[in-house]
């Protein structure tokens, strides 16, 4: 089977405006979660979020920024970093594809322009509204920026979108349809409506007085996730193509597994998660004992974390070093799986697992080796990154060391 390697990484997150600063903050155990200071949050039961550390307008052309939804802005920023990190591969446009997943797409533009329509009438609605709100906007803009003519795809699978995009990138290369794929996720939907909806569903933490302590995966005191925003993208290449241009390889994307639960619209099911992990390992030609590190989906909800812990124990075992970096970034929804993939790649590269912060008391039902307190050094072998979403979407990715 065709080997696929990771040659580029890009991100903008609540921890940093690029991969290096985000990774340094993860290893330092910093938090990107803070109070929402805007007046609109005052009446909400939830008033905390993982806001971008660096505003898009600070690093991109202001005219272009005004014509893009925030979700599209962060995708372009991450894509530019990932493409530069990969050395800007010279590839035939027809052999270059883009796959960027999102959970909500241009939700901020849709809700904002609806407010404009209601308040001021149709003549005040932006002519850029539709390109800003469409879910395929991030993939489309990145494909235009890079001149990618091998396909611009948009998996929309809730919180599994970013990981499923990377799995699709793997398939495109293995099927011979592309030599290079830019893949990952983008999300930006910090707005009163989703915050109110998640609060009503009892899914979001209400620790408004302690934002940095609110996201606490696997902890006995967890009470829900914290919404975050950002983007993370990887550049995937056919190994032979990368070798021919002497590209630096961060890691090998060895396998992927994608399943659906067909069970419940919001509650994950252990069977689907276990099957995703097992399919990923089979795709990689590896066994459970080869996995030494798991980057958990672990959003900090009481039922979700426990279901995943049981799934990991069943599919992989209790031996890997497990981390949950949403404790620092919050939950980036459609970008979460891609950011988890980037963190897993960096863990392999540096042979170190970031600690899960706010883990004061491990839930006794969690039979896993969850890294807490301080980062843990390797050796790590293979790393598995999980991503699960509303609707019963499950995606697992397996990475191995790149050797350079």
Chain segment 152-165, per-residue pLDDT in tens: 999 999 999 999 99
CB under 8 Å to 5, separation ≥6 — which residues?
236, 237, 239, 242, 247, 249, 250, 251, 252, 253, 402
As annotated, the active-site residues are: 159, 297, 331
pLDDT of residue 372: 98
Q: Is 152 helix (H, G, I), strand (E, B) or coil?
A: strand
Cβ(159)–Cβ(105) under 8 Å?
Answer: no
pLDDT of residue 41: 95
* Cα angle value 103/394/83 (rounded, 5°): 60
Q: Where are the alpha helices (DSSP H) in 147-202?
A: 161-174, 192-200
pLDDT of residue 404: 44
- pTM flag (> 0.95): yes
For residue 401, give the H/E element and its range. strand 393-401
CB under 8 Å to 338, separation ≥6 — which residues?
101, 162, 163, 165, 166, 183, 184, 185, 231, 232, 233, 234
Which residues in the chain come in under a pLDDT of 50? 404
CB atoms within 10 A of CB 378: 16
pLDDT of residue 403: 55
CA atoms within 13 A on the CB side of 391: 14
State whether the Cα torsion 225-227-230-236 is positive or negative.
Answer: positive
Cβ(387)–Cβ(337) under 8 Å?
Answer: yes
């Amino acid at each position: 089977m065709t080997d696929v390697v990771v040659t580029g990484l890009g991100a903008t997150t609540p921890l940093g405006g690029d991969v290096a600063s985000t990774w340094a903050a993860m290893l330092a155990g910093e938090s990107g979660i803070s109070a929402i200071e805007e007046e609109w949050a005052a009446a909400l039961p939830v008033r905390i979020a993982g806001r971008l550390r660096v505003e898009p307008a600070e690093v991109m052309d202001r005219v272009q920024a005004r014509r893009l939804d925030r979700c599209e802005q962060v995708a372009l920023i991450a894509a530019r970093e990932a493409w530069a990190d990969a050395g800007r591969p010279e590839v035939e446009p027809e052999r270059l594809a883009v796959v960027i997943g999102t959970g909500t797409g241009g939700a901020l533009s849709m809700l904002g322009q609806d407010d404009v329509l209601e308040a001021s009438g149709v003549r005040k609605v932006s002519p850029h509204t539709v390109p800003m709100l469409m879910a395929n906007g991030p993939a489309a803009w990145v494909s235009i920026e890079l001149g990618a003519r091998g396909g611009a795809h948009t998996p929309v699978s809730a919180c599994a979108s970013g990981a499923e995009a990377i799995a699709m990138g793997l398939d495109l290369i293995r099927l011979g349809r592309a030599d290079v794929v830019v893949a990952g996720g983008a999300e930006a939907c910090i707005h009163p409506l989703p915050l109110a909806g998640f609060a009503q569903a009892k899914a979001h933490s209400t620790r408004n007085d302690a934002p940095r302590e609110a996201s606490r995966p696997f902890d006995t005191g967890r009470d829900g996730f914290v919404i975050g925003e950002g983007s993370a993208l990887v550049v995937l290449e056919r190994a032979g193509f990368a070798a021919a241009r002497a590209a630096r390889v961060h890691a090998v994307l060895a396998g992927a597994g994608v399943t659906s639960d067909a069970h419940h619209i919001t509650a994950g099911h252990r069977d689907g998660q276990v099957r995703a992990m097992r399919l990923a390992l089979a795709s990689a030609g590896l066994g459970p004992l080869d996995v030494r590190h798991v980057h958990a989906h672990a959003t900090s909800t009481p039922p979700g974390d426990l279901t995943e812990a049981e799934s990991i124990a069943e599919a992989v075992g209790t031996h890997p070093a497990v981390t949950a970096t949403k404790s620092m970034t919050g939950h980036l929804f459609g970008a979460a799986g891609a950011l988890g993939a980037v963190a897993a790649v960096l863990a392999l590269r540096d042979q170190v697992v970031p600690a899960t912060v706010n883990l004061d008391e491990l839930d006794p039902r969690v039979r896993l080796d969850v890294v807490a307190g301080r980062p843990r050094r390797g050796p790590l072998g293979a790393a598995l990154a999980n991503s699960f979403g509303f609707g019963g979407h499950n995606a697992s990715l397996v990475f191995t060391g790149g050797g350079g």
